[in-house]
């Protein structure tokens, strides 16, 4: 229980915007601001054994679309989520800072990086989403620090070359989607629109469509190439997204 004790008192941990956490943006060196996800405290604090992961539940959105429980996959995700969150929490070489936002932001809109610091905006409506959004900041900070291979080994090819640009972002967002699925299905985190859209898109085979539609300007050549090679999937994705989320995809609003 000693690690819980290091996070001031439990009452403050359960209050996501209490003094000295997110509202005054007090940074903790290498800290994930444990305020936002009590489940991390449970499996990092010694209160539960490392092998204990709650049985995942199925996820459903208003349209009725479901993601079935995937117990073995959740266990696999737990392994690397644990490693990454330990590093976010304890590594003294960087800062991860959480700030409150009244807007529901997509991961790429919630991140600011300067030197050894990643600043991540957390939605006040679903503060626990910071636990996953912080990982997005961490991936990009590790890329900048030349350490991406430690936490995203698939970003390094057999010749030792690192993925760049769109290819790297696709790998990062794929991991982020898995972390969100893990958090929601195993630890019952509240729904958060931008991450739900990412997760459902990936789970239904539309990860590329989601990224290249939402960020067509940023990844202009990749988006143009994808649309040329997949003309039917462009409208298929747009129809699917509208049906399931009752609004247009990001990038088309």
User: Percentage of the chain with pLDDT > 70?
Assistant: 80
In this predicted structure, the answer to whether residue 41 has a pLDDT above a threshold of 60 is: no
pLDDT score of 51:
61
Q: Are 202 and 176 in contact (CB under 8 A)?
A: no
**Residue 5's CB: how many other CB atoms inside 10 A?**
10
Specify the pLDDT at position 88: 94
pLDDT at 27 over 80: no
Summarize pLDDT for 148-167 with one digit per residue, the tens.
999 999 999 999 999 999 99
HSE at residue 12, side-chain half, CA atoms within 13 A, is: 14
Residue 15 has pLDDT above 90, yes or no: no
pLDDT score at 106: 96
Q: How far is CA 108 from CA 2, 134, 143, 185, in A?
A: 35, 11, 15, 23
**What pLDDT sits at residue 122?**
86
CA-to-CA distance for 203 and 160, rounded, in angstroms? 29
Using CA atoms, how far apart are residues 26 and 15, in angstroms rounded to an integer?
Answer: 15
- C-alpha–C-alpha distance, residues 8 and 14, integer Å: 11
Residue 183 burial (CB count, 10 A): 25
Any idea what DSSP says for residue 126?
S
Q: What is the mean pLDDT of the chain?
A: 83
User: C-alpha angle with apex 92: 91 to 93, nearest 5 degrees?
Assistant: 95
Output the pLDDT for position 69.
85
Q: How far apart are CA 183 and CA 98, in angstroms?
A: 18
Predicted TM-score of the model (pTM)? 0.83
């Amino acid at each position: 229980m000693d690690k819980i004790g290091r996070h001031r008192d439990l009452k403050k941990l359960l209050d996501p915007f209490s003094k000295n956490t997110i509202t005054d943006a007090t940074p903790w060196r290498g800290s994930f601001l444990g305020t936002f996800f009590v489940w991390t405290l449970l499996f990092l604090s010694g209160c539960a054994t490392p092998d204990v992961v709650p049985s995942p539940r199925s996820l459903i959105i208003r349209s009725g679309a479901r993601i079935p429980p995937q117990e073995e996959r959740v266990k696999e995700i737990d392994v690397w989520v644990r490693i990454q969150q330990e590093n976010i929490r304890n590594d003294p070489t960087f800062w991860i800072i959480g700030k409150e936002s009244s807007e529901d932001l997509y991961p790429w809109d919630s991140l600011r990086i300067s030197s050894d610091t990643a600043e991540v905006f957390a939605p006040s409506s679903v503060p626990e989403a910071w636990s996953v959004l912080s990982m997005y900041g961490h991936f990009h900070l590790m890329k900048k620090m030349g350490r991406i291979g430690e936490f995203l080994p698939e970003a390094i090819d057999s010749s030792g070359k690192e993925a760049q640009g769109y290819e790297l972002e696709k790998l990062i967002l794929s991991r982020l989607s898995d972390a969100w699925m893990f958090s929601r299905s195993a630890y019952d985190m509240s729904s958060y629109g931008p991450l739900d859209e990412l997760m459902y898109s990936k789970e239904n085979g539309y990860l590329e469509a989601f990224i290249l539609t939402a960020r067509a300007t940023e990844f202009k050549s990749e988006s143009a190439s994808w649309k040329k090679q997949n003309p039917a999937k462009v409208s298929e994705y747009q129809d699917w997204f509208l049906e399931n989320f009752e609004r247009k995809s990001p990038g088309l609003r």
